[in-house]
């Protein structure tokens, strides 16, 4: 490999996939994004350690243009639920995050942090947290075919494990409490504070999580937002939380730092967001954002659409949304490089993102560039989603190295081609 981290003069198999692109002022070397993935690989106290740093280093070394990390948690409200996500609200959390940014940069990728917009919300209630807050007290309707649980259950049984002993998701879900107006304002300020920290840790941008039925998404969706104040009702009001966050954060971080959000194009739930409404939201909020990341579904209530079995399942909805926009769009869940290339070529998306595809093969991008075979994610959900629901760090059925990358010197920063960048306050 050359010093630039690019694979020299070898022909590029999928040229559209390897065109550089600008997100705001941030130049990304290709169209391949690691989708936000919470891994449960967090060190005690909510800190980032080597496991997470080298997990991302491997994907950056593998040619991924942009890494979007799993969520940075803006305050300790996540406590009380089994998901383990790293905190970023106190100066003590910063060294781990800045080490992560520096290491990913050393391997030639750009890095954004996903920022969780206010505790677990309805997701917390799904996980049994009696104090979970949401825009409105709408009961949880768990999908009886809850896909991750069902598939993981089968596999755990095969291995002689008693699922009941590990089951951290109960069968009764407390109705989330309605969040008060003053708490919404506090969250807007808190999330802005975390985004400032993300920037100070050396990141290139941040993504606000407004997809998958978590708190931010609950404000956007007519199904879960029944408020009658300025945060509920029409599109202007339902997008107020998102718009306030984008506006307040941009004031603090300035134009060079990219800011965007992730949205479910379709929640696939009665009365939930559909693609027309999602497109209208994106168009309305577009002046405040540098990019939009398009996904689908809602945690546990329509989870099958979040981690679909069909490759590129969201592309057609993403294309409908993209038609209305001029900022770059990212579309998740594209694993096949030929499909990724054609979706970009046909103007259906600007970038493609993958979580499971890059868990399965961190070298996916470099292999796609040269048209080499890659290790395919078999969509079993056992090692990844099937473990995080039990508070366990992810593994992968087809990649034994997941979360052991920190023990593999090939990913260490001193082997990387790029110069150090320094954290500057």
Ligand X SMILES: Cc1cc2nc3c(=O)[nH]c(=O)nc-3n(C[C@H](O)[C@H](O)[C@H](O)COP(=O)(O)O)c2cc1C
329 binds ligand X (CB under 6 A): no
211 binds ligand X (CB under 6 A): yes
262 binds ligand X (CB under 6 A): yes
Shortest reach from residue 398's CB to ligand SF4, in Å = 5
Please count the other Cβ atoms lying within 10 Å of the Cβ belonging to residue 418: 17
For ligand X, the closer of residues 337 and 416 by Cβ is 337
Distance, CA of 60 to CA of 109 (rounded, Å): 5
Q: Chain centroid to CA 56: how far?
A: 13
Distance, CA of 107 to CA of 82 (rounded, Å): 32
Distance, CA of 62 to CA of 34 (rounded, Å): 11
Residues recorded for the chain: 425
Q: CB–CB of 269/301 below 8 Å?
A: yes
Q: CB–CB of 194/201 below 8 Å?
A: no
Tokens representing 130?
A: 């009696």
Q: Please report, in angstroms and rounded to a whole number, the separation of the first and last CA atoms in the chain.
A: 34
Distance, CA of 180 to CA of 185 (rounded, Å): 9
x/- mask, ligand X, residues 147-186, rule CB under 6 A, reads ----------------------------------------
Residue 115: name its binding partner from ligand SF4, ligand X, none (Cβ under 5 to 8 Å by kind): none
Instruction: Give residues 279-318 in contact with ligand X (rule: CB under 6 A).
Output: 295, 306-307
Pairing of strands 258-264, 110-116: unpaired
Residue 249: name its binding partner from ligand SF4, ligand X, none (Cβ under 5 to 8 Å by kind): none
Shortest reach from residue 131's CB to ligand X, in Å = 21
Task: Give the range of 35-43, 192-200, 226-234, 411-419 binding ligand X by CB under 6 A.
Answer: 35-43
x/- mask, ligand X, residues 363-392, rule CB under 6 A, reads ---------------------xx--x----
115 binds ligand X (CB under 6 A): no
Interface with ligand SF4 (CB under 6 A): 356, 359-360, 377-384, 396-398
For ligand SF4, the closer of residues 75 and 307 by Cβ is 307
Residue 21: name its binding partner from ligand X, ligand SF4, none (Cβ under 5 to 8 Å by kind): none
Distance, CA of 74 to CA of 86 (rounded, Å): 9
Distance, CA of 208 to CA of 223 (rounded, Å): 20
- Residues engaged in binding ligand X (CB under 6 A): 35-38, 70-71, 114, 209, 211-212, 262, 295, 306-307, 332-333, 354-357, 384-385, 388, 394
């Amino acid at each position: 490999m050359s010093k630039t981290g690019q694979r020299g003069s070898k022909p590029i198999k999928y040229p559209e996939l390897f065109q550089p692109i600008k997100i705001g002022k941030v130049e990304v070397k290709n169209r391949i994004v690691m989708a936000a993935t919470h891994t449960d690989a967090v060190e005690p106290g909510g800190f980032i350690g080597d496991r997470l740093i080298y997990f991302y280093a491997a994907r950056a070394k593998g040619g991924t243009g942009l890494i979007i990390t799993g969520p940075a948690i803006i305050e300790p409200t996540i406590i009380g639920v089994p998901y383990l996500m790293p905190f970023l609200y106190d100066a003590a959390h910063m060294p781990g995050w800045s080490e992560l940014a520096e290491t990913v940069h050393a391997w030639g990728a750009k890095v954004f942090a996903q920022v969780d917009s206010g505790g677990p919300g309805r997701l917390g209630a799904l996980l049994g947290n009696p104090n979970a807050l949401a825009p409105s007290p709408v009961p949880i309707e768990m999908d009886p075919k809850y896909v991750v649980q069902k598939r993981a259950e089968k596999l755990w049984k095969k291995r002689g494990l008693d699922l009941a002993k590990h089951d951290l998701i109960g069968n009764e879900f407390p109705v989330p409490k309605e969040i008060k107006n003053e708490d919404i304002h506090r969250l807007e300020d808190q999330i802005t504070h975390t985004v400032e920290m993300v920037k100070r840790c050396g990141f290139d941008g941040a993504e606000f999580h407004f997809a998958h039925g978590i708190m931010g998404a609950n404000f956007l969706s007519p199904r879960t937002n029944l408020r009658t104040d300025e945060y509920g009702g029409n599109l202007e009001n339902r997008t107020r939380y998102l718009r306030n966050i984008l506006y307040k954060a941009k004031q603090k971080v300035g134009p060079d730092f990219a800011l965007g959000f992730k949205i479910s194009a379709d929640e696939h739930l009665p009365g939930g967001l559909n693609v027309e409404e999602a497109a209208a939201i994106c168009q309305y909020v577009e002046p405040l954002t540098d990019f939009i990341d398009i996904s689908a579904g809602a945690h546990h209530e329509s989870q099958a659409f979040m981690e679909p079995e069909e490759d590129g399942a969201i592309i057609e909805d993403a294309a409908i949304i993209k038609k209305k926009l001029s900022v770059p769009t990212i579309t998740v869940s594209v694993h096949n490089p030929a499909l990724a290339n054609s979706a970009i070529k046909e103007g259906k998306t600007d970038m493609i993102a993958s979580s499971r595809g890059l868990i399965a093969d961190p070298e996916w991008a470099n292999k796609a560039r040269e048209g080499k075979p890659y290790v395919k994610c078999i969509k079993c959900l056992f090692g990844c989603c099937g473990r995080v629901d039990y508070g366990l760090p992810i593994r992968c059925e087809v990649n034994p190295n997941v979360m052991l990358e920190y023990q593999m010197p090939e990913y260490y920063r001193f082997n990387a081609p790029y110069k150090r960048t320094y954290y500057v306050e």
